[in-house]
Structure 1
Amino acid sequence: MTHWFHRNPLKATAPVSFNFYGVATTPAATKVCNDLRLSRTQLLELFTDSSCNPEMMKNAADFYFSLLQGFILSLDDSSQECKLRYIQNFKWTDTLQGQVPSAQQDAVFELVSMGFNVALWYTKYASRLAGKEDITEDEAKDVHRSLKIAAGIFKHLKESHIPKLITPVEKGRDLEARLTESYIIQCQAEAQEVTIARAIELKHNPGLIAALAYETANFYQKAVEYVPAAFGPHVMMQSMESGVSSLCTTFQMTKMISGLTEAYCYHGQTLLASDKCGEAIRSLQESEKFFTKAEALCKEYGETKGPGTTAKPSGHLFFRKLGSLIKSTLEKCQRENGFIYFQKVPAEAPQLELKANYGLVEPVPFEFPALNTHWTPETVAAFDLTKRPKEDIAKPKPDEEVKPLKEPNIKPQKDSGCQIS
């Protein structure tokens, strides 16, 4: 499925040393700080390592998050806030705002920002794996599961941790609820596309495929609606002019129209099998109309400037096969209607009131790991906040540059369409 998924760039961050000289007063406290620095660096390196797999990512992320939560969680499970939560400043960019960073002196901001990047990595891993030639059934399952894991991480951040931020999230930032929801929905929609590809390969009931395609189109429609709503009219206008969010939105619109194309095509097959040839013709005509719209959107998407890895849906074998399928099925319906059915073709397209009973995607539930055992009451007590300098050296300099993560340039392999061998 080479070039089938659009991907926004990873979030970039300023280096964090976790050097609290004088504040960390014991070797145990100093060791936790060193472990935090090293595990953060290693995790950031894995984001751009093309050999990284889900097991490596989970182990590295779990280790860092288990340490970081010592700055957030109270050891006695009380409602009292951990005294270390605001000891360090963190700076992160946003996926739809270019390299304009935002900073908060809050460990929860680091938790949700790094968690957001982990979720993004799973989507990129899924895209890279889906782009392999002759993808196997096990690899297809990995793509499917990775997208569900990403959706689960985004969902957990949105519901359980982002609301705890002291500083409200600005419009258009990744952690804004509607943008995070857009990411959740897109992950679900993409996972369902894998399900549809599988159903087509195994020649499942056209009614099931039509219903799944319709549900997936609805997912993309919701995602399209969330992005502009998150930016707001004024901010959205500026963003569209700079190409920041329009590329992502156009991609989602393209996939929404492609889903409707597919739904009407397979619904037409279902109608024909039920001897409703006239309605089948009208459904296929509607599919043909949406296919033309999808081709136009693909061209618009290809000409739109913006951040991220650009997809090429119109050049994808699956897309080209769909166009051929629409044409051949419509011609078949017209022939059958001329020889057997002699039914009137309705003026209005059939209403797609399709509900899939199988194959619907739900996010995989996600929880952050338990607090690392290195954190003890004695370790926390060893941080003496009264010894912090008046000029907080933990804060990055105002002009400190946040360099974008250099993501691996994965060359696409020969397009093998939806084939799952």
Structure 2
Amino acid sequence: MLTLCMLSEIEIWREQHYRRKMTHWFHRNPLKATAPVSFNFYGVATTPAATKVCNDLRLSRSRLLELFTDSSCNPEMMKNATDLYFSLLQGFILSLDDSSQECKLRYIQNFKWTDTLQGQVPNITEDEAKDVHRSLKIAAGIFKHLKESHIPKLITPVEKGRDLEARLIDSYIIQCQAEAQEVTIARAIELKHNPGLIAALAYETANFYQKADQTLASLDPTYAGKWRKYLNLKTCFYMAYAYCYHGQTLLASDKCGEAIRSLQESEKFFAKAEALCKEYGETKGPGTTAKPSGHLFFRKLGSLIKNTLEKCQRENGFIYFQKVPAEAPQLELKANYGLVEPVPFEFPALNAHWTPETLAAFDLTKRPKDDTAKPKPDEEVKPLKEPDIKPQKDSGCQIS
């Protein structure tokens, strides 16, 4: 089904946009691989115009697949290649006369691809950070658009635990939002924004990761266990951030005892995040293995918590003499700025090569009689090999 192919390639586009920017900070599931598609409809395409559309489709698809593993590719190159391919591909789906009827070519080509779970970072500049942030919001919008507008129209029922299933799509949407907000938090920290804003953003981000984990809770842990460990460790990490900066806010309000308790809670979450980093690294499952605990952004938080807690304890011993509460403060934080929403997505306009005459030139009566709806067994799906990008020693998230 053409829509399924769109999803597989859009998903890789989503990964490609940000994987090189913060390789060792974000966990990514494997890139989807797809079998070659030649679009050679000999006999069916009966005019030069129809043949040209097929040739352009083959070339544009091949170019798009090459870009997925090209370390020199940037978002603009990816978008241009994607738009060209989809503008051509939609001629096999959309009705040219704006009617509700499906295009006669809707089922002429079958695609074969792997399933994400069961089929198998250097310092960044401000412009690069904006690219990462924008790409993740676009990716969330793509998944949302597919979930709402295309997946419900599929004839083949969606298999449970597979890429098109609602639980996975929802997790991708939420994770895209959470990772985009990580970029926002990093920028807010670098620019020394109000601790209350940083605490609220961190709390919202932790909630995003927790929600994504809960969405995957009913999946087979054999396939989703590693992914869930990553979501868990990011939840704890940003809860540690939230309590740390909330503690700073409390101290600024002369609530030193509560500040100490907030920092102690931050310590607990940070220790749990460290333990989960180890568990995550030892958990078998699909996807790359991020190394957050070795990342400068992770290590900085540990030092910040320690130093801030010591400061609060000193101030309490010399100035405030306040009792430290037994219970941690309830975080009822709501960020008014920096929250991420998916960018609305629409497929590019139909390519100008698609005219009523071009469509009429495809004669489906001339298809080979032995052509079936199932992919041929000799169609080989070769894995997409990504370039191995080593982190720099001082790799961190510095945006200035």
Taking structure 2 as the reference length, what is the TM-score of the superposition? 0.87
Deviation at 1:248, TM superposition (A): 12
> C-alpha deviations, 1:296-318, integer Å up to 9, x for none?
00000111122222111111111
For 2:30 and 2:298, locate their aligned partners in 1 and report how far apart those are by CA, in whole Å: 25
Seen in structure 2, the aligned counterparts of structure 1 residues 245 and 405 have a Cα distance that, compared at 3 Å, is farther
Is 1:247–1:304's contact at 8 Å kept on the other side of the alignment? no
Q: 1:39 to 1:247 in 2, by over 3 A?
A: same
Can you list the C-alpha shifts for 1:184-213, whole angstroms capped at 9, x where unaligned?
Answer: 111111111111111111111110000000
Distance in 2 (CA, whole Å) between partners of 1:272 and 1:214 is 18
1:387 aligns with 2:366: yes
1:98 CA drift (Å): 2.6
More displaced stretch, 375-384 vs 258-267: 375-384
**Contact 2:121 2:392 (8 Å CA) reproduced:** no
Shift of 1:100: 30
Maintained 8 Å contact 1:2/1:415: no
Separation (CA, whole Å) in 1 of partners of 2:51 and 2:186: 52
Q: TM-score, normalising length from structure 1?
A: 0.83
What 5-or-longer segments of structure 1 have no aligned partner?
102-133, 224-243
State how far apart, in whole Å, the 1-side matches of 2:130 and 2:203 are. 22
Residues 257-296 of structure 1, C-alpha deviations (whole Å, 9 max, x = no match): 1010100010011011111111111111111111111110
Contact in 2 for aligned 1:247/1:305 (Cα 8 Å) = no
**Native 8 Å contact 2:36 2:379 kept in 1:** no
Q: Retained in 2: the 8 A contact 1:246–1:304?
A: no
Q: Would the alpha carbon gap of residues 20 and 395 (structure 1) be closer, same or farther in structure 2, given more than 3 Å must change?
A: farther
Distance in 1 (alpha carbons) for counterparts of 2:201 and 2:178? 10
Q: In angstroms, what is the RMSD of aligned CA positions?
A: 3.2
> More displaced, 75-84 or 135-144?
135-144
Residues 30-67 of structure 1: per-residue CA shift (max 9 Å, x gap): 11111111111111111111111111111111111011
2:376 is paired with a residue of what secondary structure?
coil
Residues 158, 325 of structure 1: CA spacing in aligned structure 2 closer, same or farther, 3 A cutoff?
same
| Whole-Å separation in 2 of the counterparts to 1:245 and 1:26 | 53
Contact 1:246/1:306 (<8 A) preserved: no
Shift of 1:337: 1.3
CA distance in 1, matches of 2:387, 2:80: 21
Contact 2:233 2:277 in 1 (8 A): yes
Report deviation, 1:377: 0.9
Deviations along 1:47-90, one digit per CA (max 9) or x if unpaired, are: 11111111111111111101111110001101011111011111
Closer, same or farther: CA 27–100 of 1 in aligned 2, 3 Å? farther
Gaps of 5+ in 2: 1-21, 224-231
How far 1:401 moved relative to its partner?
A: 2.4
Query: Percent same amino acid at aligned positions?
Result: 92
Whole-Å separation in 1 of the counterparts to 2:113 and 2:64: 15
* Kept after mapping to 2: 8 A contact 1:295/1:314: yes
Deviation of 1:2 after TM superposition, in Å, equals 5.2
Cα distance in structure 2, aligned partners of 1:66 and 1:174: 24
Aligned-residue offset at 1:246: 12
Q: Does the Cα contact within 8 Å between 1:88 and 1:395 map onto a contact in 2?
A: no
Equivalent position of 2:277 in the other structure: 298
Greater shift, 35-44 or 409-418, is seen at 409-418
CA drift at 1:390:
1.5
